[in-house]
Amino acid sequence: MSQSLTELFTQQFNAQADHLIRAPGRVNLIGEHTDYNDGFVLPCAIDFATHVAIGKNGSDTVRVFAADYDERDEFSIHGDIVHSDKQWANYIRGVIWAFAERNGFRLPEGVDIAVSGNVPQGAGLSSSAALEVGVGKALQTTFSLPIDETEIALLGQFAENRFVGCNCGIMDQLTSARGEEGHAILIDCRELTAQTVSIPDSLSIMIIHSHVKRGLVGSEYNTRREQCETAAKHFGVKALRDVTLAQFDAGKAGLDVLATKRGRYIVQENQRTLDATDAMKRNDIAALSKLMAESHIGMRDEFEITHPAVDTLVELVGEVIGERGGVRMTGGGFGGCIVALVPHEEVDNVKAHVAKHYHARTGLTEEVFVCKPRQGVSVIK
Ligand code: GLA
């Protein structure tokens, strides 16, 4: 695919690309919605990725070709960068805008950019973060800018928050930027530090797409975030990261019912993420299994971001793996994927069990991916 993207670049722009970048999607093993509460997350970058080919063009125009849509976007490097009516184009415009707004870097000349990706969209596997990080790395490489992978992630988040309009946390961009081959990473979303964590050798990472059509994702996401902020304010702390479960229960009187449910889930999920990291380090799969199960129940009953079909998928996988692996919904929620850590020898049994019952119970058809943890963003050429 990377080969043909540089060929498409040449066809579109009649020039050779200077650089080719690969930025992966991610799957989160545990720690959902904790990132914007300054907490902990445990994701890994995955095989699916977005490729970005880039070259300076000597003009004062940015020209972009989205190979997957066979569409183009074009805008001037002078004046304000405004929104496009094409959603995909706004991620790229947004990153170029973020470089100027956040870092004071305005393009000194135009660039040509071609993008293509295979991260499933709307699946909760961060196709948009992969695009943002890919474009950020492409600009950093092209103009030899003195910024690191963490800043590239922050620029992607800035674009998403302020240009695209989703108030996401830092997990997706930071994982795409700083993922480690063969490992999960425990990210401290306040300090922006990442520790590599080995996934037990006996387990495969299975991602199963529920194919639930996601609706209202943006607005529900932003509402959850506001509820968490209300809870943090109630406790007089910067973020829910700063509250323990004991403090939460002792001080929750006066907090409204929804903010209590949401906040209590976050406080617990944060601790579960640290506990799951320890369990992985000890190779204690039964403990990991329990923590992932509790995480799913919390998302279902307290944070209320799952969907009945997604719950069914989690139950079906659980029926096969029991305590020998873990399973939960992954990503922002309201549909999308589940993630399961499955003993290698059970992968086919999980596939067969889900194939037999998921469609029958929900009318939907699953899609299964078995992934390996991959390196974060890289310059291929
Ligand atoms: C989306 C956001 C992330 C994170 C997850 C939930 O993927 O982009 O920042 O909040 O949802 O864990």
Does the beta carbon of 171 sit less than 6 angstroms from any atom of ligand 1? Answer: yes
Exposed / middle / buried, residue 169 (Cβ in 10 Å: 0-12, 13-18, 19+): buried
Q: What is the DSSP letter of 163?
A: I
Of 36, 164, 171, best ligand 1 pocket probe by most atoms within 8 Å of the beta carbon: 171
Same fold? 2-195, 199-371: no
What mean pLDDT is predicted for residues 225-230? 97
Specify the pLDDT at position 282. 97
Residue 3, pLDDT > 60, answer: no
- Band of the pLDDT at 217, cuts 50, 70, 90? low
Exposed / middle / buried, residue 227 (Cβ in 10 Å: 0-12, 13-18, 19+): buried
Residue 160 CA, closest ligand 1 atom number: 8
Residue 144, pLDDT > 70, answer: yes
Mean pLDDT of the chain: 96
Specify the pLDDT at position 213. 80
> What is the residue extent of each domain of the chain?
2-195, 199-371
For residues 175 and 187, the answer to whether their CB atoms sit within 8 Å is yes
- Band of the pLDDT at 215, cuts 50, 70, 90? low
Q: Homologous superfamily of 199-371 in CATH? A: GHMP kinase, C-terminal domain (3.30.70.890)
Q: What is the pLDDT of residues 159-193, one digit of tens each?
A: 999 999 889 999 999 999 999 999 999 999 999 99
Does the beta carbon of 303 sit less than 6 angstroms from any atom of ligand 1? Answer: no
DSSP β-ladder status, 111-117 and 61-66 = parallel
- Band of the pLDDT at 219, cuts 50, 70, 90? confident
Fold assignment, 2-195:
Ribosomal Protein S5; domain 2 (3.30.230)
Find the 105 Cα to ligand 1 centroid distance in Å.
27
What mean pLDDT is predicted for residues 9-29? 98
The residue ranges of DSSP E strands in 58-110, in sequence order, are 61-66, 71-76
- Band of the pLDDT at 218, cuts 50, 70, 90? confident
- Nearest-5° angle of CA 206, CA 187, CA 169? 90
* pTM beyond cutoff 0.95: yes
